[in-house]
């Protein structure tokens, strides 16, 4: 929008509208990243806060910098645990995103093709679970998946399993995938649905009129036009899943390595703040590219 | 015209009076958005009680010009004077102009009554005064029984009238109307045009209207400014704009017209009729044309010859004199418009000339039809030499 | 298979997948037995146990206060941020600002949580109720900004111009015209912020301190010890509250929609 009345006669107080959220986000969102970076270069200490050097006035500034080093990063590079956790996180996030697309796309398509009158209801039904707590939804799966849980009971009842057999997917990667797909499904379905719903129905009629069979029309018309939704949905899921903590912690097993869990353990378990910070910095670096793509896309939409 | 126009308009032409003081003056106005020049060094005077139209295609700068007068945009250069007062830096809420928006911009959360009262409340009028004025306005636009409705409960035509009432409630010195009738259907639009003229006349206000609809501009205006690419092409009365356009652009923009590219063969000297302007002689690809017009052109100049289709006579018979203002061709297409028929006649060199004929009798089979060999003739004062 | 039947099957399966776990959780909160696989008859026993669990009740109270405060602050800041994004096309650092609004939406919570904690430590602020509230304000304001921004994008600016044209100064115009019209978006932004705050475990775990244990932290620590019907009971109450809120909201919007349709009928009658 070009300059309009509101901007033509500027009141300096107007800039408070910009300044207040700007300063807030800068102080509480952007500035902490510099601190994380700084602390990731510090050493662990048994004190409060548990790292050295702490910042003690400007006189000590040279001293301060001389004590910073990349030791923690070196440590991360040496210990295969961390590298494995990174790769494993990316692998789990990638597979989960593909699974989400596989489940979410048909669902969004079915919603978009439903009668216009019931679409808002379907939409509300997708959003409703999202309003209930994430933790509760993950917790609900424990009771189902655990060896003496409801899934075992179901399989035993219908005779798929003998009375002494148990479902063994609790505390494995499979349980993690189920939990992730379950928790993130609304985030995948909504952008896909938004892209599919606004599509002009006469496009498919035109394709059909020009002799294109329905399945081909899907690949030539519907799918390419829904790509922005696919990308948005994939990014909205992929980025947070990479750093996911609750799901691998509650549903995953000891062998489920995810970087979010590692960070949590370093921080709360081992109280190694500098190392946790180094883990966070590297996780952030791994996600910079997808986050930038996500933001560009959001701005295009906005 | 069958419709009642209310009291007959008096002869009103302050722009011909050199002593008249303009009510609104746009003085060397330029408006830039980055590299784009929306309005380019434009100067324009508008007089009190005038019904003035800014006419042009979308993107010609007409809306920008109006929004600068309302105060929503500041000119990059130049200044706007209202009753001699410089408006630079005066915010929209302190200007004595009111605007009727293209989208009507009725406040959806307020009733009709509250919408009309909004501007009066800003002026701090007393409650009884506001109530009286709202009632008067509702009466003016014939919406008395709709006072308590919300905009969503009104039809398009009713919303348009609420918007008009709201912008008139403060008795602005100038009412600005941005495509005021664009959203109405044709029949309603025509009725409303006459109502607008009535209201303007009754209240004695100055109206400035922005429109891309030439018929609307022709019907309502005292004067029209035809704009293109940020400059004014011509400012004149509707009749002058139609009969004496000053350029190919204006001629082509208003109504239907034939334009032939010509070379001047002679000027002045050979007056054909006493007491009439001299005649300019032109040739257009072998076609000899004589135009009765005072025009500063000399032999060899490249000019345009413009002629409205209804001024061309079409006939199956060969005229007596075929040396000048005559063309021969074949009927290539016919457009039947009800009141008129338009004949597209293909000349021997392939050019198309349009001739309109009023359908004065109820014949279904017209005497002239497709493929007929026809003669076109026109008098000396039918056309116009265009140098721009 | 006909496309319609195919679609119906897909939707049934997906919604079953989304809802069955929640339904099971609710059903088992009324189970008299402690065992998850054994139905011991209907009972409200676990609700009594939950009610008398002081730690749980304290945590619920802390969560409610954090939720209301952070949602309110987040809504104010988020609305300002949305105005900035839509109404200020040019200012230094706009790109950075846009980035800071969108990034928290996808940022892994462990990073946001850790970074805030380190900020509070560096600033020497004692962690507790207020640090959680600040942290929640910061990430919920971004969600509010997105919700309000999408309303502002479709907002007809000529309404504001009309108000100014009629003599209303800009600030007054905002309160008389803009705010009432974007209020529904602000309210749903608040509700979203409140539920996000209610829901958050990770950021709260990092930024909390003594005496400010929120409900998700409490639930998490109990869940780690195993499934208990008591947790099912508190989860059921939370689900009930949220469902109630969502249904009330959707009924209100449905009513507004019906009114709009009725208005249109009135308008059509008005022409004839």
Instruction: Look up the CATH number of the domain holding residue A106.
Output: 1.10.3720.10
Q: In the A/C pair of chains, how many CB contacts fall below 8 A?
A: 249
Contact call for B73 and A9, based on CB within 8 A: no
Sequence-separated (6 or more) residues with CB below 8 Å from residue B19: none
A44 against C123, higher pLDDT? C123
CATH of the domain at B345: 2.40.50.140
Given a cut of 80, whether residue B349 has pLDDT beyond it is: yes
Annotate chain B with three-state secondary structure: CCCCCCCCCCCCCHHHCCCCCCCEEEEEEEEEECCEEEEEEEEEEECCCCEEEEECCCCCCHHHHHHHHHCCCCCCEEEEEECCEECCCCCHHHCCEEEECCCCCCCCCCCHHHHHHHHHHHCCCCHHHHHHHHHHHHHHCCCHHHCCCCHHHCCHHHHHHHHHHHHHCCCCCEEEEECCCCCCCHHHHHHHHHHHHHHHHHHCCEEEEEECCHHHHHHHCCEEEEEECCEEEEEECHHHHHHCCCCHHHHHHCCCCEEEEEEEEECCCCCCCCCCCCEEEEEECCEEEEEECCCCCCCCCEEEEEECHHHCEEECCCCCCCCCCEEEEEEEEEEECCCEEEEEEEECCCCEEEEEEECCCCCCCCCCCCCCEEEEECCCCCEEEECC
Instruction: Indicate if B26 and B172 belong to the same structural domain.
Output: yes
Instruction: Indicate if B134 and B210 belong to the same structural domain.
Output: yes
Give the structural domain span for C74. Answer: 31-250
Instruction: Indicate if B213 and B101 belong to the same structural domain.
Output: yes
Instruction: Indicate if B245 and B264 belong to the same structural domain.
Output: no
Tell me if C68 is assigned to some domain.
Answer: yes
Tell me if B27 is assigned to some domain.
Answer: yes
pLDDT single digits (tens) C146-174: 989 988 988 888 999 999 999 999 889 99
- Percent above pLDDT 90 for chain C: 39
Which chain C residue is nearest to residue B120, measuring alpha carbons? Answer: C166
Closest CA relative to residue A85, chosen from A293, A237, A264, A236: A264
Per the omega criterion (within 30 degrees of 0), is the bond before A53 cis?
Answer: yes
Tell me if C239 is assigned to some domain.
Answer: yes
Degrees, nearest 5: CA angle B102-B103-B108: 145
pLDDT single digits (tens) B374-387: 888 888 888 888 88
Put simply, the chain B residues between 148 and 187 with a CB less than 8 A from any chain C CB are: 149-150, 152-155, 157-158, 166-167, 170
Which chain B residue is nearest to residue A9, measuring alpha carbons? Answer: B91
Contact call for A243 and C3, based on CB within 8 A: no
B314 against A74, higher pLDDT? B314
Q: Report how many domains make up chain A.
A: 1
Tell me if C58 is assigned to some domain.
Answer: yes
A263 against C37, higher pLDDT? A263
Q: C268 falls in which pLDDT band (50, 70, 90)?
A: low
| Chain A residue numbers touching C223 (CB-CB < 8 A) | 135, 139, 142, 250
Tell me if B11 is assigned to some domain.
Answer: no
Taking the Cβ of residue C155 and every Cβ of chain B, the question of whether any pair is shorter than 8 Å is answered with no
Instruction: Indicate if B219 and B318 belong to the same structural domain.
Output: no
Q: Are C16 and C7 in contact (CB under 8 A)?
A: no
Q: What is the pLDDT of residue B128?
A: 93
Instruction: Indicate if B297 and B229 belong to the same structural domain.
Output: no
Instruction: Indicate if B234 and B270 belong to the same structural domain.
Output: no
Phi (first) and psi of residue C31, to 5 degrees: -80, 130
Give the structural domain span for B35. Answer: 21-251
Taking chain A (302 residues) in runs of 10, the rounded mean pLDDT of each run is 43 84 92 86 65 57 62 77 87 95 94 87 84 82 84 82 79 92 92 88 82 84 89 90 90 86 86 85 83 76 54
Contact call for A4 and B72, based on CB within 8 A: yes
Q: Are B109 and C180 in contact (CB under 8 A)?
A: yes
Considering B251, B269, B291, which residue would you say is the last residue of a domain?
Answer: B251
Contact call for C270 and B154, based on CB within 8 A: yes
Tell me if C271 is assigned to some domain.
Answer: no
Q: What is the pLDDT of residue B4?
A: 42
Average pLDDT, rounded, for chain C: 87
Q: What is the pLDDT of residue C262?
A: 75
Given a cut of 80, whether residue B112 has pLDDT beyond it is: yes
Q: What is the pLDDT of residue B264?
A: 81
Tell me if A158 is assigned to some domain.
Answer: yes
Predicted TM-score of the model (pTM): 0.81
Contact call for C166 and B153, based on CB within 8 A: no
Contact call for A143 and C24, based on CB within 8 A: yes
Q: What is the pLDDT of residue A65?
A: 60
Instruction: Indicate if B132 and B244 belong to the same structural domain.
Output: yes
Which residue from B33, B89, B92 is facing A5, i.e. has the nearest CB? B92
User: What token pair was written down for C194?
Assistant: 């409140």
| Residue range C221-235: mean pLDDT, rounded | 82
Instruction: Indicate if B189 and B52 belong to the same structural domain.
Output: yes
Given a cut of 50, whether residue C16 has pLDDT beyond it is: yes
CATH of the domain at C147: 1.10.3720.10
Residue count (chain B): 388
Sequence-separated (6 or more) residues with CB below 8 Å from residue C227: A139, A142, A143, A146, C36
Q: What is the pLDDT of residue A5?
A: 40
pLDDT single digits (tens) B154-184: 888 889 889 999 999 988 889 999 988 877 8
Q: What is the pLDDT of residue B214?
A: 87
Q: Report how many domains make up chain C.
A: 1
Q: B8 falls in which pLDDT band (50, 70, 90)?
A: very low
> Can you tell me the distance from the alpha carbon of C198 to that of A132, in angstroms, rounded to the nearest whole number?
9
- The single residue listed with the structure tokens 């005559």 is B326
Tell me if C132 is assigned to some domain.
Answer: yes
Among C3, C18, C146, the strongest candidate for a mutation testing the A interface, having the largest count of A CBs within 10 A, is C18
| Chain A residue numbers touching C114 (CB-CB < 8 A) | 36, 263, 267, 276-277, 280
Instruction: Indicate if B296 and B244 belong to the same structural domain.
Output: no
Q: What is the pLDDT of residue C168?
A: 92
Instruction: Indicate if B282 and B228 belong to the same structural domain.
Output: no
Q: Report how far Cα B337 is from the mean position of its chain's Cα atoms.
A: 22
Q: What is the pLDDT of residue B5?
A: 44
Q: What is the pLDDT of residue A61?
A: 54
Q: Report how many domains make up chain B.
A: 2
Tell me if C148 is assigned to some domain.
Answer: yes
Helix (H, G, I), strand (E, B) or coil at C42: strand
Sequence-separated (6 or more) residues with CB below 8 Å from residue B232: B42, B44, B225, B226
The least confident of A4-8, B63-67, B113-117 is A4-8
Give the structural domain span for A88. Answer: 84-271
B269 against B107, higher pLDDT? B107
> Can you tell me the distance from the alpha carbon of B113 to that of A284, in angstroms, rounded to the nearest whole number?
57
Q: Which residues pair with B46 in a beta bridge?
A: B24
Tell me if B8 is assigned to some domain.
Answer: no
Considering B251, B280, B302, which residue would you say is the last residue of a domain?
Answer: B251
Considering B190, B219, B251, which residue would you say is the last residue of a domain?
Answer: B251
Tell me if C15 is assigned to some domain.
Answer: no
Instruction: Indicate if B224 and B99 belong to the same structural domain.
Output: yes
Given a cut of 80, whether residue C177 has pLDDT beyond it is: yes
Among C160, C167, C270, the strongest candidate for a mutation testing the B interface, having the largest count of B CBs within 10 A, is C167
Tell me if C52 is assigned to some domain.
Answer: yes
């Amino acid at each position: 929008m070009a300059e309009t009345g509101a901007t033509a006669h500027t009141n300096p107080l107007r800039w408070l509208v910009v300044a207040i959220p700007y300063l807030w986000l800068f102080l509480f969102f952007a500035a902490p990243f510099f601190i994380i970076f700084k602390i990731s270069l510090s050493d662990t200490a048994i004190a409060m806060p548990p790292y050295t050097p702490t910042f003690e006035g400007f006189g000590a500034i040279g001293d301060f910098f001389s004590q910073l080093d990349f030791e923690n990063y070196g440590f991360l590079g040496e210990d295969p645990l961390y590298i494995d956790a990174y790769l494993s996180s990316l692998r789990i996030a990638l597979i989960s995103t593909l699974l989400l697309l596989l489940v979410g796309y048909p669902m969004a398509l079915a919603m978009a093709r439903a009668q216009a009158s019931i679409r808002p209801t379907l939409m509300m039904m997708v959003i409703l679970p999202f309003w209930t707590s994430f933790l509760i939804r993950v917790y609900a799966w424990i009771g189902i998946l655990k060896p003496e849980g409801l899934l075992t009971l179901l399989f035993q009842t219908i005779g798929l399993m003998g009375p002494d057999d148990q479902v063994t997917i609790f505390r494995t990667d499979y349980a993690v995938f189920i939990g992730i797909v379950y928790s993130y499904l609304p985030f995948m379905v909504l952008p896909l649905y938004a892209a599919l719903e606004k599509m002009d129905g006469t496009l498919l009629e035109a394709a059909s009129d020009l002799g294109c069979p329905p399945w081909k029309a899907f690949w030539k018309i519907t799918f390419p036009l829904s790509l922005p939704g696919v990308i948005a949905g994939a990014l909205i899921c992929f980025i947070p899943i990479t750093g996911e903590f609750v799901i691998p912690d509650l549903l995953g097993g000891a062998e489920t390595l995810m970087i979010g869990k590692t960070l949590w353990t370093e921080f709360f378990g081992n109280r190694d703040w500098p190392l946790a910070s180094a883990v966070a910095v590297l996780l952030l670096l791994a996600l910079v590219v997808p986050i930038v793509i996500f933001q560009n896309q959001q701005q295009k939409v906005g | 015209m069958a419709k009642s126009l209310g009291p007959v308009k008096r002869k009103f032409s302050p722009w011909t009076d050199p002593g008249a003081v303009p009510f609104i003056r746009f003085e060397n106005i330029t408006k830039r958005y980055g590299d784009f020049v929306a309005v380019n060094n434009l100067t324009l005077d508008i007089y009190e009680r005038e019904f003035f139209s800014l006419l042009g295609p979308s993107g010609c700068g007409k809306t920008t010009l109006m929004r600068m007068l309302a105060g929503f945009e500041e000119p990059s250069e130049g200044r706007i004077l209202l009753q001699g007062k410089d408006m630079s830096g005066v915010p929209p809420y302190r200007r004595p102009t009111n605007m009727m928006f293209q989208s009507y911009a009725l406040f959806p959360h307020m009733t009709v009554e509250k919408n009309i009262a909004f501007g009066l409340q800003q002026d701090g009028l007393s409650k009884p005064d506001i109530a009286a004025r709202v009632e008067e306005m509702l009466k003016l636009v014939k919406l008395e029984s709709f006072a308590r409705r919300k905009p969503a409960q009104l039809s398009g035509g009713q919303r348009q009238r609420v918007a008009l009432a709201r912008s008139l409630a403060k008795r602005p010195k100038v009412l600005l109307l941005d495509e005021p009738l664009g959203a109405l259907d044709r029949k309603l639009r025509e009725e409303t045009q006459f109502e607008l003229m009535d209201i303007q006349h009754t209240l004695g206000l100055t109206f400035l209207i922005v429109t891309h609809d030439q018929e609307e501009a022709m019907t309502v205006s005292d004067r029209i400014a035809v704009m293109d690419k940020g400059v004014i092409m011509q400012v004149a009365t509707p009749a002058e704009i139609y009969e004496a356009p000053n350029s190919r652009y204006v001629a082509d923009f208003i109504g239907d017209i034939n334009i032939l590219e010509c070379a001047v063969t002679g000027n002045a000297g050979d007056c054909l009729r006493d007491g009439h302007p001299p005649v300019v002689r032109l040739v257009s690809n072998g076609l000899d044309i004589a135009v009765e017009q005072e025009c500063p052109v000399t032999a060899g100049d490249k000019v345009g010859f413009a002629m409205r289709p209804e001024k061309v006579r079409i006939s199956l018979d060969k005229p007596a004199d075929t040396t000048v203002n005559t063309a021969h061709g074949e009927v290539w297409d016919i457009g039947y418009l009800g009141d008129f028929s338009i004949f597209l006649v293909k000349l021997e060199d392939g050019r198309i000339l349009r001739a309109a004929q009023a359908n004065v009798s109820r014949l279904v089979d017209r005497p002239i039809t497709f493929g007929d060999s026809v003669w076109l003739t026109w008098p000396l004062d039918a056309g116009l030499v265009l140098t721009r | 298979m006909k496309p319609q039947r195919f679609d119906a099957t897909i939707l049934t399966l997906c919604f079953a997948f989304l809802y069955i776990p929640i339904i099971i959780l609710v059903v088992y909160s009324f189970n008299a037995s402690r065992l998850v696989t054994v139905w011991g008859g209907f009972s409200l026993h676990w609700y009594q146990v939950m009610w008398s669990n002081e730690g749980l009740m304290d945590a619920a109270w802390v969560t409610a206060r954090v939720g209301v405060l952070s949602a309110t602050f987040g809504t104010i800041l988020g609305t300002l941020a949305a105005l900035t994004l839509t109404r200020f096309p040019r200012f230094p650092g706009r790109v950075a600002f846009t980035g800071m609004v969108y990034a928290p939406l996808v940022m892994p919570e462990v990073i946001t949580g850790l970074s805030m904690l380190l900020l509070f430590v560096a600033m020497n602020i004692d962690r507790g109720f207020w640090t959680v509230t600040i942290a929640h304000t910061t990430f919920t304001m971004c969600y509010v900004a997105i919700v309000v921004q999408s309303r502002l994008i479709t907002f007809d600016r000529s309404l504001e111009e009309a108000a100014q044209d009629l003599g209303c100064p800009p600030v007054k115009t905002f309160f008389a015209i803009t705010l009432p019209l974007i209020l529904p978006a602000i309210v749903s932004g608040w509700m979203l912020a409140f539920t996000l705050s209610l829901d958050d475990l990770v950021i709260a775990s990092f930024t909390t301190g003594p005496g400010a244990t929120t409900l998700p932290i409490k639930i998490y620590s109990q869940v780690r010890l195993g499934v208990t019907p008591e947790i099912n009971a508190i989860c059921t109450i939370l689900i009930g509250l949220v469902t109630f809120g969502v249904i009330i909201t959707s009924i209100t919007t449905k009513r507004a929609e019906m009114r709009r349709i009725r208005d249109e009928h009135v308008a059509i009658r008005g022409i004839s």
